[in-house]
């Protein structure tokens, strides 16, 4: 039987184990090699998690003393609600732990943090080809029906 992971806020001492998870997440979405995120973005993202003025947070899943997953989320204002929203921006687990409840535990931990902050909505997006993750997402949330458009400059 698989034991549920411990989910906790990242500590600054977690960087060496967080980085391979972050790199794995970015590689999954095609950001590696010449398209990799600049090191400055990774460094700034990490520092934001520990800045009390930033609304960006990192939770990690730990099993047997090692990190096996991460989730990043942020709180932001909305034009359609007085209360802020919670955007679950990044979710990643090690390949060995997929399908064993780590992703669900991380999502549920974000739900708990949103409730503690009196935020009534958590939302996220995923790539349409991420069928494995969508099997979980369909169990823990509902699809909004919205498509994402973007333009980079």
Indicate the class that CATH gives domain 6-140: alpha beta
Q: Which helix (H) or strand (E) holds 73?
A: strand 66-76
Q: Cα separation of 87 and 16, whole Å? A: 25
Q: Are strands 6-9 and 122-123 parallel, antiparallel or unpaired?
A: unpaired
Q: Cα separation of 18 and 28, whole Å? A: 15
List the domain boundaries for the chain.
6-140
Average pLDDT over residues 17-27: 95
Q: How far is CA 8 from the centre of its chain?
A: 13
Q: Cα separation of 59 and 86, whole Å? A: 14
The pLDDT value given to residue 93: 96
- Per-residue pLDDT at 2 exceeds 80: no
- Per-residue pLDDT at 1 exceeds 60: no
- Per-residue pLDDT at 35 exceeds 80: no
Query: What ranges in 5-153 are assigned the alpha helix state H?
Result: 15-28, 39-48, 102-116, 131-140
């Amino acid at each position: 039987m698989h034991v549920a992971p411990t989910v906790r806020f990242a500590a600054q001492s977690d960087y060496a184990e967080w980085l391979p998870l972050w790199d794995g997440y970015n590689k999954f979405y095609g950001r590696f090699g010449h398209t990799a995120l600049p090191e400055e973005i990774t460094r700034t993202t990490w520092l934001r998690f520990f800045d009390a003025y930033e609304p960006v947070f990192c939770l990690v899943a730990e099993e047997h003393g090692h990190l096996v997953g991460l989730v990043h989320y942020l709180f932001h204002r909305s034009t359609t609600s007085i209360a802020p929203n919670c955007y679950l921006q990044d979710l990643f687990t090690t390949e060995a732990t997929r399908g064993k409840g780590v992703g669900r535990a991380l999502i549920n931990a974000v739900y708990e943090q949103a409730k503690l902050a009196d935020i009534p909505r958590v939302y996220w997006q995923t790539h349409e080809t991420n069928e494995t993750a969508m099997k979980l997402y369909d169990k823990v949330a509902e699809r909004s029906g919205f498509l994402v458009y973007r333009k980079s400059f």
